[in-house]
Structure 1
Amino acid sequence: MKPMYISVIGAGRCGAAETALAEEVGRLTALRGAILVCGGLAGVMEAAARGAKEAGGTTIGILPGHDRELANPHIDHVITTGIGHARNLAVVSTGDAVIAVGGGYGTLSEIGLAAKIGRPVVVVAGWRLQSDAGVEGVYYAASAAEAMQLVDRALALETGSVDTRRVSDL
C-alpha cells in the first residue's frame, strides 16, 4: 500500500502549547508510516516536522518562495514555489487529510481550501467553523491522538481502502 500523506498546517509563530501539540501530531504521523507535508517554515510547521523526524518519519516542505535555504532543518524534501500564499493550496492538496494546529488567517484559508477540494480536515486547538448545516469534512479534536483517529475515520468513510489502524494499535 502506498503511504498516506498528512498535511499539517498552522501559524508560523506559536506558543509552547501549540508547539508541543504540533510535535505530537508530527510524531504520530511518522509512527503510522505517513509522510508529513507542511509549509516548511517555522512555528507549527517546524514543530510538526521536528516531531516527525524524531520518530523516524519523512517530511516535505512546500515553501512560498524560491529559496530552499529558508526551510526549517527538519524538512527532508523542499519544494519551492515562488507563489506566496497561493502555495497553501499545494500544501493542503498534497495531503490525503489535513490537520490544523491553532493558526491565524493563513491557516483559516488552508482549512477553507482543503474543505473546498474535499480533503478531510481535523482542527486541534484552532478555528471553529459554524454554519446552520455544519461544515462537511471538518472535524474537531481535543488531542493529537484523537486527531489521528478522526483522520482514519474520515478517510475510511471516503475510500474504504485506507489503513484504519488506530494510534493505540501502533
Structure 2
Amino acid sequence: MVMEPQLFVADGRLWRNDGVTARSFDPWALAWQDQTALPADVAPVAAEDAVAMLAAGGGMRRLPVAVIGPREPVGDQEAIARALGAAIAGLGLVLLTGAKGGVMAAASRGAAESGGLVLGLVPDEDWRMANPYVTVPLATGIGPVRNALIARACPVLVAVGGGYGTLSEIAYGLHFDKLVLTLADAPVVDGAIICADVTDARARIARRMLALDAAL
C-alpha cells in the first residue's frame, strides 16, 4: 500500500505541510502553491477522500484515468476491471477506455453503474461501435493508433491483464512519462508498477491526481 503524506482540509480547500512550507492545492491547475502558513482550523484527510471532495466541488480539472486491457479477459480480469471502473468513478474522476469489449467494457460498466463519466476513444468511424456503457463515445476512425492517444491523454493508465495491444499502450504510457499501473497478470514492463489489488491502484491514482509523487 502507498503511504499517504499528511493532508488537511479547511474551508473546502486542500492543504499540506512539508515541515517548513505550507502549501495549498489548486484543483484547476492541479498543482501545489506555497503559502505562509496552514489555516488555524484544519482537519486531516486521506488522499482518496481529498480527490473525491475536490471533484464533487466542481472546481477540479477532470483529467481522465485510462483502463486498458484485452477484449477477451481471462480468469477474474473482467471482475477486477469492473471494480476498478467503480473505484475511479468513486473518486469523481473520468474514465477513458478504448470503448470496445472485454476489460474496456467491464471497466466502463463499473464506472457507469457508479455514476461516473466514461469517455471512449472508438477506433471505428461509427460511434455506435462503442460498448453500451460509454457515456461520451468519440469515433476516431484511426484503428489501433488510438492506443497512443489514450496514453498521451491520461496522467494515469491502469492495465488489467492484456497481450500485445495492452503492451503497446503500456510502452506509450511509459514513453510519455505517465504513471502506469498493472493488475491481474498484465504484461510486466520496467517502470510499470504492479499493484496488489484495486484498493492499491485507487490510492496510487489519488496520489498522482494530487501531484504528490510527480507533476501533472
Kindly indicate which of the two structures has a greater share of residues assigned to strand: 2
Q: What is the TM-score when the length of structure 2 is the normalising length?
A: 0.68
Q: Which residue of the other structure, out of 185, 188, 198, is the alignment partner of 1:144?
A: 198
> Structure 2: 5+ residue runs without aligned partners?
1-59
> Match of 1:13?
72
TM alignment of 1:18-167, pairs within 5 A: 18-125=77-184, 126-129=186-189, 135-136=190-191, 138-154=192-208, 155-159=211-215
* Partners of 1:4 and 1:33 within 8 A in 2: no
Q: Based on CA coordinates, which of the two structures has the bigger radius of gyration?
A: 2
> Match of 1:166?
none
CA deviation digits over 1:126-147, x for unaligned, max 9?
Answer: 1112xxxxx33x2110211111
> Match of 1:165?
none
RMSD: 1.4
- How far, CA to CA, are the matches of 1:65 and 1:101 in structure 2? 23
Please state how far the C-alpha of 1:99 moved relative to its aligned partner: 0.5
CA deviation digits over 1:72-115, x for unaligned, max 9?
Answer: 00001111111111110111222121000001100000000010
- How far, CA to CA, are the matches of 1:3 and 1:122 in structure 2? 19
> Which secondary structure does the structure 2 equivalent of 1:158 belong to?
coil
- How far, CA to CA, are the matches of 1:21 and 1:38 in structure 2? 15
Give 1:19's aligned amino acid. E
Q: What is the TM-score when the length of structure 1 is the normalising length?
A: 0.86
The structure showing larger relative contact order (alpha-carbon pairs under 8 Å, at least 6 residues apart) is: 1
More displaced, 148-157 or 52-61? 148-157
Kindly indicate which of the two structures has a greater share of residues assigned to helix: 1
> Which secondary structure does the structure 1 equivalent of 2:86 belong to?
helix
CA deviation digits over 1:31-55, x for unaligned, max 9?
Answer: 0000000000000000000000110
Give 1:127's aligned amino acid. P
Please state how far the C-alpha of 1:16 moved relative to its aligned partner: 4.7
> Which secondary structure does the structure 2 equivalent of 1:156 belong to?
coil
> Structure 1: 5+ residue runs without aligned partners?
130-134, 162-170
Q: Provide runs of 4+ in structure 1 moved above 6 Å.
A: none
Give 1:33's aligned amino acid. G
- How far, CA to CA, are the matches of 1:84 and 1:3 in structure 2? 25
Please state how far the C-alpha of 1:67 moved relative to its aligned partner: 1.4
